[in-house]
């Protein structure tokens, strides 16, 4: 019983951290642009493919394989996805920031289709699932004879580090201050001499790069990646951001942990729970939003006519 | 607006000629698009369409003139439309693929009109139309398969079941708004689809097979339709059935638009708090929008189930709801005519893009994004309500 508890707690925290990283991206973009970037999940899930491709490219060009080169490929993927995010912002998403919310939603859903199809066509045999290696392997230590893998520690450590860095960045750097100003009030920020297009570009780069890390961790956790993983991971990350309260970083983390928690609980304690897990997750989403219509930690805004 | 409309108002004879001509042009374009085969023909027609809408964008009076002549002679407009709709299967002949496309397009037109009550009239996001559609299809199919009920009996029961579902979704809509409400409806849609996928009695991922064809006055819908010596393939039965449903949907939409309910929805769209201050029961009208949507969607679902005789959860995913939403936005929110055009275009286009085989989804996505950037108000933007203009 204790083993089960420890085992599932580890699963919960690992998955929760991945969802939280995705949710942070949604929250960050929504906070600044007021746009739901529905293809964020798809953008994030391009990272495993880029990493695989660059690892193979490195192996072919230099004949080098091994953990060091894998790290290089992963870093390249994260930067590349950040750039993809910034480009998508400039080409597509920014144009919808003043459009009705639903229009931006539909446009980014279509953008998600385009991204998935591009992966499918550009990557060799893109329609098939591709095995993705564990970024780190091996067991770190044991708690009550339950092995705790290095991978889980990596996920938790990386998430903590990223959240801390993001916090420092947003609070203490000039660019972070501009991002916060633009998310508070874009028009006033402009009047204060803040170039909002630069703020958008930076926000998209950061959000997409964090999403890429989440995508890489997810593919590594699942051991496999496929071109359409972005739909469900995106939906789950979005749900996490919304039930936490859009625009709130602690909310995004709490939302990620809650979504992962219900998923793990359903799989562990409900018979046939694995096939019903999405039902449990989304019923929870509905219930949370009925009782907290602006999310758990979201700001309730007083409406004026 | 009033001045330019009256200065361009056509006379009765000109209006009659123009009405018939423009509708025939529309039908001819639809026919050419359906018949088009191979990439270049499709691209040519799309370019033609693009030029048409570019002209509309540059010269808005064309649109005003068309609308003015259509409303000038409403009887002739309706009669021409009826002749075109009734005659189309004869023109198509034995090409069952085209008939199939038309049936699906008509069902999507009904779904888009259903969603238009919320998205267009009241600006409430709803990603669960696909789920209502699925509930309608599954309810009627289960009744027919397990209890041997006839199509005509399952139709109202399925609609009631889906309406009940619509009321249930409506409840959270009283409290949440915008993005949060969008997520609630997405969640409902996913839950319904996942349940259909997992329950034993819905056939799980395999779905339901062997739904019997409906029959009317002893004429089975699975057998060819004989009219005045013309023999039409069996799909023609369903073509006329779905056409009838489109007519019902249009009449419903028009009546609701003209009623206090439609007015209340428009008030919600303009400003929810101001509407509340005017004494409009906001919660009730929001829930009502969901219920009406589910009711109409269930009709479409029932016809779909009996038409293809095989349904599975894959027919009712989140992406189906998104597609319906795209149809409404592309066609033009709160514009009945535009929504129908949007549904037809977005149903037929992906099929015609099969010429690009594997790349058609990619192409489709690019077209939708490009369209939303170039013409965000939709093909046919919503028209202002006109009062006191009785001709």
Instruction: Please answer whether residues A204 and A85 qualify as being in contact, where contact means their C-beta atoms are separated by less than 8 angstroms.
Output: yes
Measured between alpha carbons, how far is B156 from B136 in angstroms, rounded to an integer? 10
The answer for residues whose C-beta is within 8 angstroms of residue A253's C-beta and 6 or more apart is A20, A23, A24, A163, A244
CA A67 from centre of chain: 24
A259 lies in some domain? yes
Instruction: Name the DSSP class of A123.
Output: S
Q: Nearest Cβ partner of A305 from B179, B191, B273?
A: B273
pLDDT tens digits, one per residue of A135-165: 887 887 888 788 888 899 999 999 999 999 9
pLDDT (average), residues A211-236:
91
Query: Number of folded domains in chain A?
Result: 1
Nearest-neighbour CA in chain B from A3: distance (Å): 30
Closest Cα to residue B239, out of B342, B370, B95, B362? B95
Nearest-neighbour CA in chain B from A66: distance (Å): 36
A162 lies in some domain? yes
Question: According to the model, what pLDDT value does residue B210 have?
Answer: 79
pLDDT tens digits, one per residue of B115-153: 988 888 888 888 889 999 999 999 999 988 888 888 888
Closest Cα to residue B167, out of B259, B322, B286? B286
Q: Do B191 and A283 touch (CB under 8 A)?
A: yes
Architecture of domain B95-374: Orthogonal Bundle (1.10)
* Phi, psi for B387 (deg, rounded to 5): -120, 145
A57 lies in some domain? yes
A303 lies in some domain? no
Q: Do A102 and B325 touch (CB under 8 A)?
A: yes
| B329 has a chain A CB within 8 A of its CB | yes
Measured between alpha carbons, how far is B25 from B362 in angstroms, rounded to an integer? 30
Instruction: Please answer whether residues A100 and B270 qualify as being in contact, where contact means their C-beta atoms are separated by less than 8 angstroms.
Output: no
A130 lies in some domain? no
Instruction: Name the DSSP class of B122.
Output: I
| B369 has a chain A CB within 8 A of its CB | yes
| B188 has a chain A CB within 8 A of its CB | yes
CATH number at residue A55: 1.10.3470
| Residue B361 with chain A: CB contacts under 8 Å | 113, 117
- Cα dist from A251 to B51, B118, B119, B299, whole Å: 48, 30, 29, 41
| Residue A304 with chain B: CB contacts under 8 Å | 273
Kindly provide the ipTM of the predicted complex, given to two decimals.
Answer: 0.84
Closest Cα to residue B237, out of B253, B255, B263, B213? B213
| Residue B178 with chain A: CB contacts under 8 Å | 101
* Phi, psi for B150 (deg, rounded to 5): -80, 160
Residue with tokens 């038309």: B102
The SS3 of residue B24 is: helix
The SS3 of residue B38 is: coil
Measured between alpha carbons, how far is B19 from B26 in angstroms, rounded to an integer? 11
Find the domain containing A100 and state its range: 2-125+135-291
User: Side-chain half-sphere of A215: how many Cα atoms within 13 Å?
Assistant: 38
- Domain coordinates of chain B in residue numbers? 1-92, 95-374
Instruction: Please answer whether residues A186 and A33 qualify as being in contact, where contact means their C-beta atoms are separated by less than 8 angstroms.
Output: no
Nearest-neighbour CA in chain B from A12: distance (Å): 21
A302 lies in some domain? no
Instruction: Please answer whether residues B92 and B86 qualify as being in contact, where contact means their C-beta atoms are separated by less than 8 angstroms.
Output: no
Minimum mean pLDDT among A133-142, B5-14, B60-69: which range? B5-14
A300 lies in some domain? no
Measured between alpha carbons, how far is B167 from B283 in angstroms, rounded to an integer? 11
pLDDT tens digits, one per residue of B192-224: 988 888 888 888 888 888 788 787 777 777 777
Pairing mode, strands B215-216 and B208-209: unpaired
Q: Reply yes or no on whether the pLDDT at A302 is more than 50.
A: yes
């Amino acid at each position: 019983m204790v083993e089960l508890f420890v085992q599932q707690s580890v699963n919960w925290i690992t998955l929760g951290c991945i969802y939280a990283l995705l949710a942070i991206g949604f929250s960050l973009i929504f906070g600044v642009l007021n746009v739901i970037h529905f293809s964020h999940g798809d953008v994030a899930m391009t990272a495993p493919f880029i990493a695989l491709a660059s690892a193979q490219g490195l192996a072919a060009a230099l004949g080098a394989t091994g953990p060091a080169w894998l790290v290089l490929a992963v870093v390249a993927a994260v930067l590349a996805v950040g750039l993809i995010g910034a480009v998508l912002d400039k080409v597509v998403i920014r144009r919808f920031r003043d459009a009705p919310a639903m229009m931006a939603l539909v446009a980014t859903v279509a953008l998600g289709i385009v991204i998935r199809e591009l992966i499918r066509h550009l990557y060799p045999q893109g329609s098939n699932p591709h095995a993705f290696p564990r970024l780190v392997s091996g067991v770190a230590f044991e708690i009550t004879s339950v092995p705790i893998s290095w991978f889980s520690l990596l996920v938790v450590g990386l998430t903590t580090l990223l959240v801390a860095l993001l916090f420092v960045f947003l609070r203490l750097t000039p660019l972070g201050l501009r991002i916060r100003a633009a998310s508070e009030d874009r028009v006033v920020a402009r009047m204060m001499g803040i170039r909002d297009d630069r703020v958008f570009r930076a926000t998209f780069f950061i959000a997409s790069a964090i999403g890429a890390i989440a995508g890489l961790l997810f593919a590594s956790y699942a051991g496999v990646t496929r071109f359409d993983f972005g739909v469900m991971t995106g939906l789950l990350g979005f749900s996490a951001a919304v039930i936490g309260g859009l625009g709130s970083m602690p909310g995004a983390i709490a939302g990620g942990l809650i979504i992962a928690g219900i998923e793990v609980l359903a799989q562990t304690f409900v018979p046939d729970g694995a096939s019903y897990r999405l039902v449990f997750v989304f019923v929870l989403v509905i219930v949370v939003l009925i009782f907290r219509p602006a999310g758990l930690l979201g700001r309730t805004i007083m409406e004026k006519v | 607006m009033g001045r330019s409309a009256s200065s361009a108002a056509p006379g009765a004879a000109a209006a009659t000629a123009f009405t018939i001509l423009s509708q025939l042009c529309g039908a001819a374009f639809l026919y050419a698009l359906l018949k088009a085969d191979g990439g270049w023909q499709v691209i040519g027609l799309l370019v033609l369409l693009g030029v048409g809408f570019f002209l509309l964008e540059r010269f808005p009076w064309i649109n005003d003139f068309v609308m003015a002549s259509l409303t000038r002679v409403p009887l002739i407009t309706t009669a021409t439309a009826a002749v075109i709709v009734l005659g189309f299967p004869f023109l198509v002949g034995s090409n069952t693929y085209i008939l199939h496309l038309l049936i699906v397009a008509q069902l999507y037109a009904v779904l888009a009109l259903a969603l238009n009550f919320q998205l267009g009239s009241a600006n409430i996001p709803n990603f669960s139309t696909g789920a209502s559609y699925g509930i309608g299809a599954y309810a009627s199919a289960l009744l027919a398969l397990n209890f041997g009920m006839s199509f005509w009996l399952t139709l109202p029961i399925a609609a009631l079941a889906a309406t009940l579902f619509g009321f249930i979704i409506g409840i959270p809509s009283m409290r949440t708004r915008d993005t949060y409400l969008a997520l609630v409806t997405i969640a409902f849609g996913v839950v319904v689809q996942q349940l259909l996928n997992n329950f034993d009695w819905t056939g799980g991922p395999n779905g339901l097979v062997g739904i019997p064809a409906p029959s009317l006055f002893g004429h089975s819908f699975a057998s060819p339709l004989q009219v005045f010596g013309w023999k039409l393939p069996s799909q023609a039965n369903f073509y006329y059935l779905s056409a009838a449903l489109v007519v019902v949907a249009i009449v419903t939409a028009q009546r609701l638009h003209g009623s206090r309910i439609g007015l209340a929805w428009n008030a919600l769209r303009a400003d929810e708090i101001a509407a509340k201050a005017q004494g409009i029961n906001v919660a009730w009208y929001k829930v009502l929008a969901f219920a009406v949507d589910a009711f109409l969607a269930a009709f479409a679902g029932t016809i779909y189930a009996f038409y293809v005789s095989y349904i599975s959860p894959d027919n009712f995913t989140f992406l189906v709801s998104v597609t319906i939403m795209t149809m409404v936005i592309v066609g033009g929110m709160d514009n009945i005519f535009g929504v129908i055009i949007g549904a037809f275009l977005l149903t037929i286009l992906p099929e015609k893009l099969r010429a690009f085989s594997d790349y058609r989804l990619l192409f489709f996505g690019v077209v939708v994004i490009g369209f939303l950037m170039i013409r965000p108000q939709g093909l046919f933007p919503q028209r202002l309500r006109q009062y006191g203009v009785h001709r």
